[in-house]
């Protein structure tokens, strides 16, 4: 009789505690405490990820891989032929170099550092091709047949452009060798908005707008043959895959109209349904964005900047997201905020239009509770922790009034005492740190002028620090005086990031969205920016994360708002929150949103006979 | 199938929308307790569980517009000094 060890090369192990490392995938063990056989199993599933920053309904190709993706061009009513490019790092999107020719419905292929686009539509079909080097696009040789809505796959030096639409669907196929496009054997049917996956010598054309019967065709570099049929026909969805026998079809439109959440994987013979995307949509990229087992799916409809990830792993990945927290007892804005999700504090602030508040509220991770009031009602910058809080500066009068404050107050978890005063009274400062090591930078003074002034607090007194390179107010901030980070602002609206070490300032990577009066928390190398005002008439829900070098998008807040606080707070980016603020039409907001980081856990399955 | 559904629901604080909810469907809040919810099974279930009242897009837009117009009227009535501290709210167009 055969044994499990003979069949699989390893024994079933008796243990008292489950394995916890994904490296044990496939290992079966007997948990003697639970009395159960268990194993770690790899599986594929979709999870939500961070949104793009550029609105594009569709007609944009996605390229690259799950951890190094690329998207460019596309269309939106306000920008029908955008040049905007964004790069995906597996967590979020950041700005890339612009296309030379803004267009939609083009073909895309290759990688984030070696991308390729071909054809497309700018009001008429074009023959343009462009190559991307990870920084900028450069124009390449024209394709032979101007057309749009082609399927594309392959690499920057071995591309494949299939079908599309001229004045009618076509079946023309062109290959690219890095220097010129050559027309080769035609595809079996005239077709457009069909997906493509694979490489030039092993590719698959997946369904399409004039091919709603689910038919797929495989290409070996010379000839086309019929492949397995999809269970659900579609066009204009997302696609992934590396060869003609390893592909995935993602969402899309099922002719003549309904969108589908359905996804299917192909093994060279048969399409098999896998888990569905959360939101059906039609990005119309028709190019691969990853492999059969690990891919991303982004954009696709008006108002939707969504990105979803498909991961096949022995780990269950729970993506980052904001969740609701307890509501403030006093809805307000522009107060000082500090602490973490289970131990936060909101200090002072104002209610619309100009009622200045002295309330202090503590957050326990579930609800806010009122504590002793600060001495001087005002807006304020905040820092510290729930048991060692700090507010400084701010105002209790209109801009340009005598209400601008220099006072500092310290909180010990119970009561407030006066600290040393700022040498320069101002409001809307950047500010963060601890009660004994905080900084206040920029802001506006009583004449309503923005300043470059920087001051550092040691627990009893403020001392002058190195001035900021440019006057600014109302941005986000994070970190400590020895490793400080300030970003954004609204004099004028800015995406600029500055890193400081207490001795001077250096430029960091710009945010993807310029904005002011936003929330910020974390450290100089691991910070979150969220919400804010992008112009006097619009608020943002966008969140971004900073890794010490560059910003990329993170999952958005549920409610777009501004004026959370005129400063950041010294939180870790793993347990931050935003509270209060204002939104258009609702100037006092009491809502709290808590930041939940991405987590992974091994996928342990119980083995039973049923 | 429409991409979104629309409804009103009061944010009751902790647990109103969870980490898992945010992974399962699109969600965006607007004035007047209006919520735009991803139109899938889990989004619909969430709105029902929150005692939400489903609205058409036009109805939801009317609620948001009325809230903003009320805020605009309030802003217009502010003194010049008070106006310095804020900007006139702008009409929001729902996705």
Among candidate residues A285, A319, A353, the one where a domain is terminated: A319
Residue A435 and residue A395 in one domain: yes
Q: Please tell me the distance from the alpha carbon of residue A321 to that of residue A555, in angstroms, as a whole number.
A: 6
B54 touches chain A (CB under 8 A): no
Residue A275 lies in a domain: yes
Among candidate residues A257, A287, A319, the one where a domain is terminated: A319
Residue A603 lies in a domain: no
Residue A401 and residue A495 in one domain: yes
Domain membership of residue A23 as a residue range: 4-40
Residue A263 and residue A327 in one domain: no
Whether A336 and A381 have beta carbons less than 8 Å apart is answered as yes
Residue A273 and residue A292 in one domain: yes
* Cβ neighbours, 10 Å, residue A373: 15
Output phi, psi for B61, to 5 deg.
-60, -40
CATH of the domain at A314: 2.120.10.80
B62 touches chain A (CB under 8 A): no
Q: B17 and A47 in contact by Cβ < 8 A? A: no
Distance of residue B16 Cα from the nearest chain A Cα, in angstroms = 6
Query: Residue A304's pLDDT is what?
Result: 66
Q: Please tell me the distance from the alpha carbon of residue A358 to that of residue A154, in angstroms, as a whole number.
A: 62
Residue A329 and residue A201 in one domain: no
Residue A223 and residue A337 in one domain: no
Query: Residue B94's pLDDT is what?
Result: 93
End-to-end CA distance of chain A: 23
Residue A149 and residue A75 in one domain: yes
Whether A164 and A150 have beta carbons less than 8 Å apart is answered as yes
Residue A455 and residue A425 in one domain: yes
Q: Please tell me the distance from the alpha carbon of residue A329 to that of residue B50, in angstroms, as a whole number.
A: 21
Distance of residue B76 Cα from the nearest chain A Cα, in angstroms = 11
The predicted model scores a pTM of 0.88
Query: Residue A480's pLDDT is what?
Result: 95
Residue A295 lies in a domain: yes
Q: A560 and B11 in contact by Cβ < 8 A? A: no
What sign does the CA torsion over A562, A568, A569, A572 have? positive
Residue A132 and residue A239 in one domain: yes
Query: Residue A568's pLDDT is what?
Result: 62
Residue A600 lies in a domain: no
Distance of residue A304 Cα from the nearest chain B Cα, in angstroms = 8
Residue segments in chain A with a per-residue pLDDT below the cut of 70:
1, 58, 212, 302-304, 399, 566-571, 609-610
Q: B38 and A279 in contact by Cβ < 8 A? A: yes
A515 touches chain B (CB under 8 A): no
Residue A29 and residue A63 in one domain: no
What sign does the CA torsion over B66, B67, B71, B72 have? negative
Whether A457 and A390 have beta carbons less than 8 Å apart is answered as yes
Q: In chain A, how many domains are there?
A: 3
Residue A118 lies in a domain: yes
The 10s digit of each residue's pLDDT in A479-528 is 999 999 999 999 999 999 999 999 999 999 999 999 999 999 999 999 99
Q: Please tell me the distance from the alpha carbon of residue B2 to that of residue B43, in angstroms, as a whole number.
A: 13
Query: Residue A29's pLDDT is what?
Result: 87
Residue A458 lies in a domain: yes
Q: Please tell me the distance from the alpha carbon of residue A397 to that of residue A142, in angstroms, as a whole number.
A: 63
Query: Residue A588's pLDDT is what?
Result: 83
List of chain B residues whose C-beta atoms are within 8 Å of the C-beta of residue A556: 28
Distance of residue A536 Cα from the nearest chain B Cα, in angstroms = 6
Q: Please tell me the distance from the alpha carbon of residue A535 to that of residue A484, in angstroms, as a whole number.
A: 26
Q: B95 and A281 in contact by Cβ < 8 A? A: no
Q: Please tell me the distance from the alpha carbon of residue A217 to that of residue B18, in angstroms, as a whole number.
A: 43
Nearest-by-CA chain A residue for B95: A303
A318 touches chain B (CB under 8 A): yes
Q: A401 and B81 in contact by Cβ < 8 A? A: yes
**b/e for A304-331, b at 16 or more Cβ within 10 A?**
bbbbbbbbbbbbbebbbbbbbbbbbebb
The shortest CB-CB distance from A353 to any of B11, B27, B78 is to: B78
B58 touches chain A (CB under 8 A): no
Residue A479 and residue A563 in one domain: yes
Residue A609 lies in a domain: no
Residue A34 and residue A49 in one domain: no
ω into residue A551 within 30 of 0, thus cis? Answer: no
Chain length of chain B: 95
Q: What secondary structure does DSSP assign to A334-365, as a single string?
A: S-EEEEETTEEEEEEEEETTTEEEEEEEEE-S
Residues 245-264 in A contacting B (C-alpha not used; CB under 8 Å): 258-259, 261
DSSP-derived pairing of the beta strands A307-313 and A43-48:
antiparallel
List of chain A residues whose C-beta atoms are within 8 Å of the C-beta of residue B18: 323-324
Q: B23 and A47 in contact by Cβ < 8 A? A: yes
The 10s digit of each residue's pLDDT in B27-54 is 999 999 999 999 888 999 999 999 999 9
The 10s digit of each residue's pLDDT in B43-94 is 999 999 999 999 999 999 999 999 999 989 988 998 887 787 778 888 999 9
Whether A155 and A174 have beta carbons less than 8 Å apart is answered as no
Alpha carbon of residue B87 to chain centroid: 20
ω into residue A294 within 30 of 0, thus cis? Answer: no
Residue A185 lies in a domain: yes
The 10s digit of each residue's pLDDT in A28-56 is 888 888 888 888 888 898 988 898 888 77
A-B contacts at Cβ under 8 angstroms = 129
């Amino acid at each position: 009789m055969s044994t499990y060890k003979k069949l699989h090369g390893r024994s079933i192990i008796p243990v008292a505690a489950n394995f916890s490392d994904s490296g044990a995938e496939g290992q079966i063990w007997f948990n003697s405490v639970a009395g159960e056989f268990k194993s770690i199993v790899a599986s594929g599933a979709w999870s939500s990820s961070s949104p793009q920053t550029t609105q594009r309904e569709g007609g944009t190709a996605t390229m690259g891989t799950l951890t190094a993706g690329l998207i460019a061009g596309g269309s939106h009513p306000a920008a029908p032929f955008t040049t905007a490019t964004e790069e995906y790092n597996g967590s979020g999107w950041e700005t890339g170099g612009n296309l030379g020719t803004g267009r939609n419905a083009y073909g895309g292929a290759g990688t984030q550092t070696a991308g390729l686009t071909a054809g497309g539509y700018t009001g008429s079909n074009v023959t343009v091709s462009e190559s991307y080097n990870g920084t900028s696009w450069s124009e390449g040789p024209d394709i032979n047949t101007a057309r749009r809505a082609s399927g594309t796959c392959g690499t920057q030096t071995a591309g494949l452009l299939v079908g599309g639409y001229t004045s009618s669907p076509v079946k023309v196929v062109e290959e690219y060798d890095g220097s010129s496009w050559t027309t080769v054997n035609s595809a079996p049917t005239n077709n457009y908005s069909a997906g493509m996956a694979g490489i030039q010598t092993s590719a698959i054309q997946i369904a399409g707008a004039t091919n709603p019967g689910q038919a797929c065709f495989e290409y070996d570099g010379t000839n086309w043959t019929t492949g397995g049929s999809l269970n659900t026909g579609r066009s204009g969805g997302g696609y992934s895959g590396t060869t003609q026998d390893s592909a995935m079809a993602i969402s899309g439109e099922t002719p003549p109209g309904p969108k589908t959440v359905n996804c299917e994987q192909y093994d060279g013979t048969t399409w098999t349904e896998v888990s569905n995307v959360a939101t059906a949509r039609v990005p119309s990229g028709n190019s691969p964005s990853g492999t059969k087992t690990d891919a991303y799916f982004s954009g696709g409809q008006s108002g939707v900047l969504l990105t979803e990830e498909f991961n096949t792993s022995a780990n269950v990945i729970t993506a980052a997201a904001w969740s609701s927290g307890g509501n403030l007892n006093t809805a307000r804005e522009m107060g000082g905020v500090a602490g973490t999700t289970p131990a936060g504090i909101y200090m002072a602030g104002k209610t619309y239009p100009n009622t200045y508040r002295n309330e202090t509220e503590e957050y326990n991770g579930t609800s806010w509770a009122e504590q002793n009031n600060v001495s001087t009602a005002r807006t304020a910058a905040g820092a510290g922790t729930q048991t060692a809080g700090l507010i400084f500066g701010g105002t209790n009068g209109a801009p340009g009034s005598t209400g601008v404050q220099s006072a500092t107050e310290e909180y010990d978890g119970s009561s407030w005492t006066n600290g040393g005063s700022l040498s320069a009274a101002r409001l809307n400062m950047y500010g963060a740190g601890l009660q004994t090591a905080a900084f206040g930078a920029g802001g506006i003074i009583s004449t309503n002028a923005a300043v470059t002034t920087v001051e550092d607090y040691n627990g009893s007194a403020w001392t002058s620090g190195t001035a900021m390179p440019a006057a600014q107010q109302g941005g986000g901030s994070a970190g400590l005086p020895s490793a400080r980070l300030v970003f954004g602002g609204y004099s004028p609206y800015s995406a600029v990031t500055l890193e400081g070490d207490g001795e001077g300032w250096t430029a960091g990577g710009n945010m993807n969205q310029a904005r002011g009066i936003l929330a910020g928390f974390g450290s100089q190398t691991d910070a979150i920016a969220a919400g804010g005002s992008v112009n006097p008439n619009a608020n943002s829900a966008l969140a971004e994360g900073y890794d010490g070098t560059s910003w990329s998008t993170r999952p958005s807040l549920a409610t777009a708002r501004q004026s959370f606080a005129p400063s950041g707070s010294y939180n870790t980016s793993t347990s931050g929150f935003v509270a209060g603020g204002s939104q258009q039409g609702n100037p006092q907001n009491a809502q709290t949103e808590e930041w939940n980081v991405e987590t992974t856990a091994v996928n342990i399955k119980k083995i039973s006979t049923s | 199938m429409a991409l979104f559904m629309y409804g009103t629901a009061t944010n009751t604080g902790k647990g109103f929308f969870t980490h898992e909810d945010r992974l399962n469907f699109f969600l965006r809040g607007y004035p007047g307790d209006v919520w735009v919810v991803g139109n899938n099974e889990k989004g619909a279930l969430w709105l029902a569980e929150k005692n939400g009242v489903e609205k058409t897009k036009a109805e939801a837009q009317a609620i948001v517009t009325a809230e903003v117009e009320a805020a605009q009227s309030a802003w217009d009535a502010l003194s010049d000094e008070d106006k310095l501290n804020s900007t006139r709210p702008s009409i929001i167009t729902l996705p």
